[in-house]
Structures are given as C-alpha cells and as structure tokens.
C-alpha cells in the first residue's frame, strides 16, 4: 500500500511560505499542514495604554520585549523612533524591532527569558520597562527582581484561549506558546503516536505536564523553523496507509 500523507496541525499561525511548500508536494513524502488557532491575540488600543506608551517614548529608557506581539502593539502608538535601548527574546521579535526601531536600538537578544535576564543583569541595568502580554511568564521579572532591578511592566496585548474540539487525529502537532497548550488540552486528547513540536523550552515544559508523547523542541525559536522541522520529520517517517 502507498504511504498516506503525513498530517501536521499547527495550533497557531505558521509560515505561509512553508505551508505552500508542503501543499505543492515538493517533498518525496506528501505532507499536509492544517492550521487551527487555539489562541487569539488582541492588541490593547485603549487610551490608558496609549498614554503610557507615549510617556515612555518621550524618555530615554531601557526596554524589554519578549514577544513580537508586544512590539506590534507598542509601535502602533509611536510615530517616531524613541531613545530606547532594547533587549529582546527570539529572532522573530528581533526582526520586528529592527523593522521599526532600527538595528542600533538593540542592546542584546537571547533565545529565552532566562538567558535574556542574565544579560540584563550582566550589563548592570538598574531600571527597565517591560512591554508584555497578560499571560507573560514570571521567569524574567522574578530574576531581575532578585537582583534589585526595577522593572516597570505595561500590558500591551492580551491572549485569549480559543479551544477547538478536533474531529480527527494528526501525526504531528505544533505548539508556539504555553497558552495554546493549555487551550488545546482543555478539550482534546491525542493518540500515543502523535509527535509534539514545541517552540522553546517553556512551551515544552507545559506540554510535558499534559502528555508523555514524543516531544521535539525547535533549536531556533521561530515559527518558520518549527514548521520546517515538522515537515522534515514527516519526510523521514513515512506513514503506512493501513495505520
């Protein structure tokens, strides 16, 4: 019997280019990618948030971003580049920062919040502004607080769980955030054969609390790399049509 397509579920927005590549059948093994968002991101656009962002924009500040969503939310309020030195987590966040604030604004980047907090501490920063979401993790604030660094937080976007009951099983599932994990498993279970892919160790830790399935973590913390990793896995693991 011929191999059936290797099915991948993306629980968040992945790379359109990678999706098209999979759909075109450019791989020896056909791969099917389906996207079902399990969270919804809403950027804060209220007057209070606007006034706070504009106030910081008029000052020389050390700023921290751990999400590209936070960069998008903040940049929507600012019409000229502020005098900020920026620390960032992840290549996608970094790219978003460069596109609006410029390369020179970046002081340092890291793969995760723990690594970034270490760099901030090493640079002897005393105060910083943290633009974040309402579901932000405690790692960075807690570590900076332990070292006496004053971190002023401003929530600029919100993450809402949007669980969807699956009607079929998938060979692989991609998770880009801890919130998506909890949203997914709030109403779904998965077969033992399903392989899980996590964008970063934090998301992987949450996945381990819900499942003992095979779990692979993307070494490059960006969505395009995670999807490519899953597609490459599908190429090397043919699925028999009798399964």
Each of the 243 residues of the chain gets a pLDDT tens digit; together they read 446 889 999 998 754 444 454 444 444 447 899 999 999 999 999 999 999 999 999 999 999 999 999 999 999 999 899 999 999 998 889 999 999 999 999 999 998 899 999 999 999 999 999 999 999 989 999 999 999 999 999 999 999 999 999 999 999 999 999 999 999 999 999 999 999 999 888 889 899 999 999 999 987 767 888 999 999 999 888 776 655
- In the prediction, which pLDDT does 15 show? 46
Q: How many domains does the chain have?
A: 2
- Residue ending a domain, among 109, 128, 157, is 157
**123, 215: one domain:** no
Where in the sequence is the domain holding 92, given as residue range(s)? 42-157
**181, 116: one domain:** no
CA pair distance 91, 38, nearest whole angstrom:
23
**132, 202: one domain:** no
**17, 49: one domain:** no
CATH code where residue 213 lies: 3.40.50.10090
**150, 50: one domain:** yes
**205, 193: one domain:** yes
**140, 57: one domain:** yes
**105, 202: one domain:** no
């Amino acid at each position: 019997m011929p191999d059936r397509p290797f099915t991948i579920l993306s629980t968040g927005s992945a790379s359109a280019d990678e999706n098209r590549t999979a759909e075109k059948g450019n791989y020896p093994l056909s791969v099917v990618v389906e996207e079902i968002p399990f969270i919804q991101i809403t950027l804060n656009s209220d007057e209070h948030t606007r006034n706070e962002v504009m106030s910081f924009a008029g000052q020389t500040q050390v700023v921290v971003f751990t999400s590209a969503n936070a960069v998008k939310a903040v940049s929507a309020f600012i019409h000229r580049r502020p005098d900020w030195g920026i620390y960032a987590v992840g290549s996608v966040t970094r790219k978003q920062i460069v596109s609006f604030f410029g390369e020179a604004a970046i002081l340092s980047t890291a793969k995760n919040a723990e690594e970034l907090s270490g760099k901030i501490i090493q640079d002897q920063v005393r105060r910083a502004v943290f633009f974040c979401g309402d579901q932000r993790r405690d790692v960075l604030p807690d570590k900076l607080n332990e070292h006496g660094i004053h971190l002023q937080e401003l929530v600029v976007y919100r993450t809402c769980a949007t669980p969807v009951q699956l009607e079929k099983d998938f060979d692989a599932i991609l998770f880009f955030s801890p919130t998506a994990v909890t949203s997914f498993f709030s109403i779904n279970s998965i077969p033992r054969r399903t392989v899980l892919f996590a964008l970063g160790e934090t998301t992987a830790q949450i996945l381990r609390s819900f499942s003992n399935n095979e779990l692979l973590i993307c070494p490059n913390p960006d969505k395009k790399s995670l999807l490519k990793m899953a597609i490459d896995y599908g190429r090397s693991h043919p699925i028999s049509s009798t399964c």
